Amino acid sequence: MAPQTQGIHHVTAISGEPQRNVDFYVGVLGMRLVKKTVNFDDPETYHLYYGDGAGSPGTIMTFFPWAHAPRGRIGAGQLIVTSFSIPATSLGYWTERLVEKGVRFEKPRDRFGETVLTFEDPDGLRTELVAAEDGRAGYREGPVPAEHSVRGLHHVALAVEATERTAKLMTDSLGFRQVAETEGRVRFAAGEGGPGALVDVVGAADFPRGAMGVGTVHHVAFRVPDEGAQLAVREEVAALGYNVTPVLDRNYFRSIYFREPGGVLFEIATDPPGFAVDEDPDHLGESLKLPPWLEKNREQIEAALPPLRVPVEESA
């Protein structure tokens, strides 16, 4: 049987100034900062993780804040939109909240029977809220009341010049199946399907090529239950000729990376061990966590990072 992934694990994007990033994802979208660590490949830069209360796979959005990096350009060969789900009954709450927080959004529209609000985060990252049936809990103790909280990732949209090759990789080797189609867009689902397990592939033959930088997505990670399943995917894509990395220890999950035929960087990440591996689940994200191999440089790393303040909702 072909290897399987169960949907989205996380999305990682590049932001500018870190405080502005925290202010938006916690203060506006109401997600929990579940981990404050550094980019393991560039330890003097933060790596910030947002998610539901536990940072469950499928709810995680992460950022490398590169305060001085140039703005990127959204285009072909990229993940062009990251969508979060909100309860179907919370559309009114969210339109009001976005207006109140000064976030300009486009006219709500329908996609595959669900209403979508589209806006940019403070660094120009294309983001959506999709009003959906979603049984996940979201972050229940955050700045947004539990009944309205963001439930997690809904789907991601990849823009690729030749959709067939990307589609073939997803269906033949990553466990996705086609579930819907509309003009220029095909939706795939993995595992149990539904929000958090959906990927849209958008035909981008006439799009300009994207360029990596602030306000663009760096990669999308798909989830596997364990390292065995990860190795099965690794073997499969290596046999197909993809240039796949060895298994890397990301402390909160194990990862492999390869570029899909359209140019988007894919990661396959394990569900375990998760964010409670080095921090009390009640205090996730409160202190700077470093992997064991960087602890010896803590003093120097801390000195290079700006302090961050996590917003709490001002009482009305």
Chain residues binding Zn ion by CB under 5 A are 12, 221, 267
Q: How far is the CB of 221 from Zn ion (least distance, A)?
A: 4
What angle separates helix 227-239 from helix 163-173, to the nearest 10 degrees? 140
52 vs 97, beta carbon nearer Zn ion: 52
The first and second tokens of residue 18, run together, are 């870190």
CA distance 139 to 148: 10
CA distance 225 to 88: 29
91 vs 221, beta carbon nearer Zn ion: 221
49 vs 94, beta carbon nearer Zn ion: 49
On whether the CB atoms of residues 83 and 226 are closer than 8 A, the answer is no
Q: How far is the CB of 267 from Zn ion (least distance, A)?
A: 5
12 vs 216, beta carbon nearer Zn ion: 12
Q: How far is the CB of 218 from Zn ion (least distance, A)?
A: 8
Position 64, amino acid: F
103 vs 269, beta carbon nearer Zn ion: 269
- Burial class from Cβ neighbours inside 10 Å (0-12, 13-18, 19+) for residue 121 reads buried
Q: How far is the CB of 122 from Zn ion (least distance, A)?
A: 21
Task: List C-alpha distances in Å: 291 to 11, 248, 252, 286, 297.
Answer: 20, 13, 9, 16, 11
79 DSSP β-pair partners: 158
60 vs 167, beta carbon nearer Zn ion: 60
221 vs 301, beta carbon nearer Zn ion: 221
The phi and psi torsions of 225 (rounded to 5 degrees) equal -70, -25
Q: How far is the CB of 249 from Zn ion (least distance, A)?
A: 13
The first and second tokens of residue 110, run together, are 């329908």
Q: How far is the CB of 12 from Zn ion (least distance, A)?
A: 4
Q: How far is the CB of 144 from Zn ion (least distance, A)?
A: 25
On whether the CB atoms of residues 14 and 212 are closer than 8 A, the answer is yes
Compute the CA torsion angle 148, 197, 55, 149 (nearest 10 deg): 0
CA angle 8, 14, 19 (to 5 degrees): 110
